[in-house]
Structure 1
Amino acid sequence: MNENERKIEHLSDKEILASLYGSQAAMLLIGLTGAYFVFDDLSMFLQLLSFTWYETIVIGGSFALIVVGVDLLMYRFIPYRHLDDGGINERVFKGRSVLHMIILCMVIAVVEELLFRAVLQTAFGLIAASIIFALVHVRYLKKPILFSFVLLVSFSLGLLFEYTNNLTVTIFAHFLIDFLFGLFLRKKSRK
């Protein structure tokens, strides 16, 4: 067990959740502040949010299933030490009810897509937003495979946003990726 794993092991469930929700609150504040400067008015932002079954469920859902499939293949064929984030993801999802996981994943998806796709990608472009997204996942910096995968997923979500011009699609895809992966980790931790 490395030093990060020991630190994580000593954190209480409440401390892990407080840290997670605190970081999401900070990103939401940054995203809303950024949206104020990026969009001329609320209607410009709201144009990015529309629900259509085909785009949201079929395109966004298919994208998410592909990402989760690749993720599961990585867990099957790549040694765990290359994919271990220090146990943070497992601690986040371990012991959560399905309802709490849905809420948690929805908060993460809405906040991160607002900040990274709607604000940063609109203001600075796909590459900058994707790199910043990957760097925010700082615990992956010492894990080249994880970092590369998160960067690729972020870039792909950005392309999905550019293709659909619909934030609802990327929110649903992000939610589904996190939720399905969370279910995998939850099941794995019960073994």
Structure 2
Amino acid sequence: MRKRGKPVDSRDERLLFWNLCLTQVLVTLAALGLLAYQGRLGWELWMPAGWDMWFAGLAAGLTVVAADLFLYRSVLRKWLDDGGLNKLLFGKMSPGGIVWVSAGVAVSEEMLFRGALQYWLGILLTSLLFTLIHFRYLRSWLMTALLFAVSLFLGWVTEVSGSLVPATMAHFTLNLVLGLLLRFGKVR
């Protein structure tokens, strides 16, 4: 983790990017392994997947983005600091790269957490694990609480819809919009 005030080195950005890629490969492998063990590895996780499911996910993601931006622009801003890791990751990434990273993270994490783990552990314990693996946010009580709440919401969306599509689309939308806002300097 870089210290405040230290100049950002392009090696830091590349290292963070490759750590993210490796982490997501491991998350995907864990998801596929657990789903295969459960006998649930198939397209049925993504069904029903009509346009209404994609739209519901988009609406859910934009709702979370709006809440996040409202809190960011309020007096709570100082508690929404991840130490600059998201800015380091997305700050110079191409918009196309942000799309690919957002999609990869959303698919892999939702397959593991909402697809495999929620099946065994339920929404509450899955959300706790989801929050804990995003350990960079644990330094802020507000970011931890928000991440836990978002995870509960994604778990509920999955439970109600019977599909991973809305939660994955919401996760993708959240990552994409906030990544683009970071890239273009609209948030810090």
Mark yes or no: TM-score above 0.5. Answer: yes
The structural deviation recorded for 1:41 is: 5.1
Contact 1:8 1:87 in 2 (8 A): no
- Provide the alpha-carbon RMSD of the alignment: 2.1
- Establish whether residue 156 from structure 1 lines up as the match of residue 153 from structure 2: yes
Match of 1:68 among 65, 71, 81: 65
The structural deviation recorded for 1:78 is: 3.1
Contact 2:181 2:187 in 1 (8 A): no
The structural deviation recorded for 1:81 is: 2.7
Contact 1:93 1:182 in 2 (8 A): yes
> What TM-score, normalized to structure 1?
0.89
Cα deviation code 1:124-150 (max 9, x no counterpart): 111111110000010111200000000
Structure 1 CA distance for aligned equivalents of residues 85 and 129 of structure 2: 20
* Contiguous gaps of at least 5 residues in structure 2: none
| Structure 1 consecutive aligned stretches of length 4 or more whose deviation exceeds 4 Å | 2-8
Match of 1:172 among 145, 151, 169: 169
- Aligned residue for 1:133? 130
Contact 1:90 1:189 in 2 (8 A): no
* Contiguous gaps of at least 5 residues in structure 1: none
Indicate the SS of the match to 1:84: coil
- Aligned residue for 1:97? 94
Partner AA of 1:74 in structure 2: L
Indicate the SS of the match to 1:36: helix
Contact 1:105 1:179 in 2 (8 A): yes
Matches within 5 A, 1:4-153: 4-5=3-4, 9-10=8-9, 11-38=11-38, 40=39, 42=41, 45-50=42-47, 51-57=49-55, 59-153=56-150
- Over 3 Å counting, the alpha-carbon distance change for 1:179 and 1:138 in structure 2 is same
Structure 1 CA distance for aligned equivalents of residues 187 and 160 of structure 2: 39
- Over 3 Å counting, the alpha-carbon distance change for 1:41 and 1:88 in structure 2 is closer
- Over 3 Å counting, the alpha-carbon distance change for 1:41 and 1:55 in structure 2 is closer
Contact 1:68 1:181 in 2 (8 A): yes
* Larger mean Cα displacement after TM superposition, 3-12 or 96-105: 3-12
Structure 2 CA distance for aligned equivalents of residues 8 and 135 of structure 1: 29
> What TM-score, normalized to structure 2?
0.91
The structural deviation recorded for 1:12 is: 2.4
Structure 1 CA distance for aligned equivalents of residues 183 and 163 of structure 2: 31
Cα deviation code 1:99-120 (max 9, x no counterpart): 1111000000000000000000
* Larger mean Cα displacement after TM superposition, 26-35 or 109-118: 26-35
- Amino-acid identity (%): 29
The structural deviation recorded for 1:190 is: 9.2
- Aligned residue for 1:188? 185
| Matched residue count | 186
Structure 2 CA distance for aligned equivalents of residues 80 and 185 of structure 1: 15
Partner AA of 1:176 in structure 2: T
